[in-house]
Structure 1
Amino acid sequence: MRLTLVRHGETVWNAERRLQGHADAPLSERGIGQARRAAEFFAGTPAPSLVVSSDLSRARHTAELLGFSAFATDRRLREMDLGDWTGRWIKDIEASDKGAYRDWRLGVSTPPRGEEWEPFCARVGDALRDAVGRSEGDIVIVTHEGVVRAACAILVGLPPSRLAPVSPAALTIFDIDRAAPSHAARLVAFNLAPSPGDLRTQGLDHAPV
């Protein structure tokens, strides 16, 4: 079984370097273009057995642009709740608490009143197991950067500190062995961006969630 996770396209807040979490800014024009380019990956291939999207509109819009007209939604596939950082600009967070944003990206701190890493991974893991359990074939999940990072930790043991930022509309692909204990997984591709220009490399803070 192949499990493909797709991050949503760039949003207006992403472009402004403003944090979203459970808030829900619309896709930017660039994000719409990114999702349409990512759709080429699925064109001409057999349809997946199951498509699931986060219930937030930026993920649902991306799923539609990828060419999936029918898909389930799952609230557990939402981005991490960023608490008091929701809606804030990264530069303001760094100015008021230097290093806090970087430490959060590394998985070693939690935003004030935000969701902690372990509970976040627990809900993402539950959603992934449910999807694998109810599908007989390949799965596509349209979601958020934090969920992709959590999936890497859950499925192949890669912590946030070992991962580069996930670009908008990038694909991350796993092969899942359903016959193995705990559905053993192998990472096939990480951060496969729609085009080279979408693969930005400005360090840990280049792609606000």
Structure 2
Amino acid sequence: MRAGRLLLWRHGRTAHNAEGRLQGQSDIPLDDVGLWQARTAATALLTRYKPTKIVVSDLGRARATADALAEQAGLDVVVDPRVRERSFGAWEGLTAAEIGERWPEEHAAWAAGGEPTRAGGEARATVAARMVEAVNEHAAGLTDGDTLVVVSHGAAIGLGVAGLLDLPADWRGIVGVSNAHWAELRAARGTAPHTWRLTGYNLGPTDASSDWNAGPDQEARDPD
């Protein structure tokens, strides 16, 4: 048996997200907008699903996001380092312009879909493999009527989706999931136990604000 539904939920916004800095495994906390996004998205998620189990990355921004859901759902969280973000080595904390200035050839290769290695980053295939391993392990202890929520990170979710769909790690057919949004997958029937089907992507309460990344509308927060 395994969970019938899987949600891969990205953490809320951080200062690095707002500034366009590559975050990787640097432990950057949610900012005020990110905390609001986590609470708002958790409420929206619970109007559509009934989570059975919440698994979360060991990085603080993911844990704070998961806690917003766990508090409302009345569940504990399970911390699993295998669903943490991809490491970007020496590039972490830098903007794309800064990376391009310091590592022009490596950055160009990365932008073209290559695998730069000189900066010490983690390979896509490594991230995809650990994400798939973690998801399938946690899903295996559940039943078809259960919903597993995995709170993770942008690059890790994209690579996890590719891996769970049995696509190569260099497949780049989807955009990155937005902060505090999620991908929904359903367990395939009559196939190998690791096989999943994508049923929704970049789902979330995008109607909660005219600009999700700016936080709640000022008119709603400070009425006349």
TM-score (norm 1): 0.85
User: SS of 2:172's equivalent?
Assistant: helix
Q: Does 1:56 align with 2:56?
A: no
- Contact in 2 for aligned 1:37/1:195 (Cα 8 Å): no
Q: Does 1:198 align with 2:212?
A: yes
Per the alignment, do residues 142 and 181 of structure 1 end up closer, same or farther by CA in structure 2, a change over 3 Å counting? same
Match of 2:140 in 1: 133
- Contact in 2 for aligned 1:110/1:117 (Cα 8 Å): no
Match of 1:206 in 2: none
Larger radius of gyration: 2
Match of 1:163 in 2: 174
Pick from 98, 103, 108 the counterpart of residue 97 of structure 1.
103
Query: RMSD across aligned C-alpha pairs, in angstroms?
Result: 2.4
1-structure distance, mates of 2:195, 2:147: 15
- Unaligned stretches of 5+ in structure 2? 215-224
Identity of aligned residues (%): 32
Which shifted more, 38-47 or 136-145?
A: 38-47
CA deviations 1:123-175 (Å, max 9, x no partner) are: 11111111111222210011101121112211222754211122100111000
- Unaligned stretches of 5+ in structure 1? 201-209
Shift of 1:178: 6.4
TM-score (norm 2): 0.79
- Contact in 2 for aligned 1:9/1:58 (Cα 8 Å): yes
**In the comparison of the two structures, how many residue pairs are matched?**
200
2-structure distance, mates of 1:99, 1:143: 30
- Contact in 1 for aligned 2:14/2:61 (Cα 8 Å): yes
Match of 1:10 in 2: 13
Q: Return the letter of the residue paired with 1:61.
A: A
Matched ranges for 1:36-185 at <5 A: 36-44=39-47, 47-66=50-69, 67-68=72-73, 69-98=75-104, 100-101=106-107, 103-104=109-110, 107-110=113-116, 112-136=119-143, 137-156=146-165, 157=167, 159-177=170-188, 179-185=190-196
User: SS of 1:153's equivalent?
Assistant: helix
